[in-house]
Amino acid sequence: MSSRREFVQKIATSALGLPVLLNSSSLFAYTNNHYDGPLLRVAIMGLGSYGTRVAEAMQSCRKAKLVGVISGTPSKVAIWQSKYGIEGKNCYNYDNFDEIKDNPDIDAVYVITPNGLHCEFTKRVAAAGKHVICEKPMGINAREGQEMVDACRAVNVKLLIGYRMHFEAKTLKIVGMRKKGEFGKIIFFQGQSGFIIGDPNQWRLNKKLSGGGAMMDIGIYSINGARYMIGEEPIWVTAQETKNDPVKFKEGIDETIQFQLGFPGGAVASCLSTYAVNHLDRFYLAGIEGWAEMQPSTGYGPIKARTHKGELTDPHITHQTVQMDEMAGIILENKQPVIPVDGEEGVKDMKIIDAIYKAVKTGKKIDLTSS
């Protein structure tokens, strides 16, 4: 597949084979719920494949509305203007978007650019006085992540990270069961995230733009998933890297990493992040009294999940639609999500990624409690 996003969509669809009518009817019911409150007016920065997916999903939002674009490609801006009815005064490029500070029609900017640009662009958006939604990973390391948090806090704007799975119904159902003790003491988590990456010249295989390889792109799902599934913060990490194609996966671009996390309650997580194996999208959580499995676990859906009590049947709603509506509630109404999506949450993942890379380099167990 040419990208993770194409892969996860394909595997999610093929794994379930659910009728389109089921998904569309669920979305119809969602979008027809009455809402009279304020709208979060959003500009999308970065009009690539995922930016397009978010824009399409936002057409069904109740609380969030696409009103602006920021892009370095004028032809894309023209297409988006026509397709989504975006006014010319709400269109910017990467050189002049600081001018949004004078635009009262834009409340927030969703940064969907290569990872290496997240920190700079987030700080510029914050300086313009606008709330920031930044796609994950929030930066290329924890230092950048903390700079982003500090920049937004200094001017009193919110920084949210694009963790769409934090609002997904089956994910929340399993987290709720764990909180209620239905699995008993948690002892094990397994996360598998992988696909065979295509074009060797894409930005995801460019260290300056991506910050790393599969770990930055999809391994972060298993890191984040281990944390919210187990419900604790890890205290140590070990990791091992396998690289079979050093030409495609150059220095600083990981092909495959296996990593293990230890948690204060005694649970361990065993995870795999790879750009070399297809069809890996699975979470498994085990307690002494029950278990939960999700496969696909983080694709665009529908997510398929079951526990020791049976299959979960919550209806599928487009993840980005729910995400943007829920984030509008966080920004406009100070709503508190079940699983955090703020900048501090993003920094926690970045600290673990930093430690994983350190563990690979040193071959040692890395203590996460001293950082």
The position carrying tokens 């690539």 is 48
97 with 124: CB under 8 angstroms?
Answer: yes
Provide the 10 A C-beta neighbour count for residue 311.
9
Angle between helices 49-58 and 4-16 (to 10 degrees): 50
Active site residue 136: yes
Q: Which of 63, 130, 136, 304 is catalytic?
A: 136
276 with 244: CB under 8 angstroms?
Answer: yes
- The residues facing 134 across adjacent strands are 111, 161
Angle between helices 220-230 and 343-362 (to 10 degrees): 120
| φ/ψ (deg, to 5) at 160 | -120, 150
Exposed/middle/buried for residue 243 (C-beta within 10 Å: 0-12, 13-18, 19+): middle
Please state, in angstroms and rounded to a whole number, the distance separating the CA atoms of residues 314 and 48. 30
Residues 6 or more apart whose Cβ sits within 8 Å of residue 123 = 147, 148, 151
Active site residue 84: no
Please state, in angstroms and rounded to a whole number, the distance separating the CA atoms of residues 15 and 9. 10
Residue 171, CA distances (Å) to 112, 228, 316 in order: 24, 9, 12
Which H or E run contains 204?
A: none
Q: Which of 50, 92, 110, 221 is catalytic?
A: 221
Write out the catalytic residue numbers. 136, 221
